[in-house]
Amino acid sequence: MNDLVKKTEPTQVQKQQKFRKDMGLFEKALSNLPGAKFGDAGAPLKHTFVPGAYIREITMPAGLILTSKIHKVEHPYFVLRGKCEVVTEEGKVLIEAPYWGITKAGTKRALHIIEETVWCTVHSNPSNTQDLKEIEKDVIANSFVDLQKFKVLKDSEKHSGIYVICNTTNEKIYIGSTNNTKNRWKVHKHRLRKNIHANQKLQNAWNKYGEEAFSFKLIQNIEKEEDLIEYEQFWMDTTNPFYNICRVAGRTSGVKQSKEQKEATAERMLGNKYAAGSKTIHTQETKDKIAKSLKGKKHSKESYKRQADKIRGRKHTDVAKKNMSEARKRFIKNNPEDNTCFKKKQVAD
């Protein structure tokens, strides 16, 4: 009879739900104990900022029992000193320094500190902010419900698509494509705030009108990343975006072009005066107009002075002197009737 009755093993989801419920009850029991402390009280913190990252170091005294916050994103951690017992959804482990590991997204821990422990975590900080509240918004969830909402939002922001950056003051726009919407806007803002954006037109406008004048919006979802360039080009041709210096859609980060796509892009760029690195080819009519506009033009005294100031005190190298001497001699030899500018030098020689 017993052989016919089989116990059903709980699923991974059921185990996760049970752990989270037990963790909530455990935290409630801890908070009711005499002398219970909340937040980071009783565990000194050290904050360090380096380009692109935030480093958080906490020192936990021996005998301390505590629970961690819920982590939104995966990140590395390092135990620099001490010994502690750690309980997570994956079970119970004894950690002794030196030790390092990876904290998975959604992790919450219960810890028993056996020996004073120094625990260090490293978090991505692409905006290089030093506002701890802003950083916590990016890496910490207040509850498992908030964590689930964050995951849903994150999944929706990771998809590929065509986006527009709009200057709401004058409605001039920039068109781009991305395979990670949220991250792309973060990168744009970081470079614009640092005044190091590759697009000088967009950078100048940002500096003039300020960050609050610009908005970012996804205007079309693209299921296949390999279609990004084609749709980006369509939107460029349709909207004539003012801030796009190059009017030809290039390769999107993370998307490899086929040989046919590269050849098609090269064909579109050929002769395109907006294409980065291209050389504009003038017609003969245009050349004649340029020559006519410059003919008879004289520099002002101020212009002559600026040019003189640039070369005053400049010394030529021995090689340069030799080249100029040989050039002068060739000119005199080939133009015996028109060498008045060299007469003084000729006598001196």
3-class SS of residue 297: coil
Residue 244, Cβ neighbours under 10 Å: how many? Answer: 21
* Reported confidence tier of residue 280, pLDDT bands at 50, 70, 90: low
CATH 2.60.120.10 in the chain, residues? 45-143
* Residue-wise pLDDT tens digits, 25-39: 998 888 888 776 666
Backbone angle region of 30, left / alpha / beta, with phi > 0 → left and psi within -120 to 50 → alpha: alpha
Distance separating alpha carbons of residues 24 and 40, to the nearest angstrom: 18
Contact 160, 219 (CB under 8 A): no
3-class SS of residue 53: strand
130's tokens: 């030093």
Among 131-140, 174-183, 226-235, 259-268, the range scoring the smallest mean pLDDT is 259-268
pLDDT at site 138:
87
For the domain made up of 158-269, give the CATH fold.
GIY-YIG endonuclease (3.40.1440)
* Residue-wise pLDDT tens digits, 113-122: 999 999 999 9
Contact 231, 218 (CB under 8 A): no
* Reported confidence tier of residue 191, pLDDT bands at 50, 70, 90: very high
Q: What is the mean pLDDT of residues 290-299?
A: 72
* Reported confidence tier of residue 310, pLDDT bands at 50, 70, 90: low
Percent of the chain past pLDDT 70, that is, above it, reads 77
CATH 3.40.1440.10 in the chain, residues? 158-269
Contact 181, 218 (CB under 8 A): yes
344's tokens: 């003084």
Specify which residues 174 forms β-bridges with: 165
- For the chain, what is the mean pLDDT? 80
Torsion angle in degrees (nearest 10) through CA of 72, 76, 77, 80: -160
This prediction's pTM:
0.46
pLDDT at site 152:
64
pLDDT at site 157:
60
Distance separating alpha carbons of residues 194 and 54, to the nearest angstrom: 18
45-143 sits in which CATH class? mainly beta
* Residue-wise pLDDT tens digits, 220-264: 888 788 888 888 998 888 889 999 988 888 643 333 455 665 665
- Judged against a pLDDT cut of 70, whether residue 214 lies above it is answered with yes
pLDDT at site 58:
94
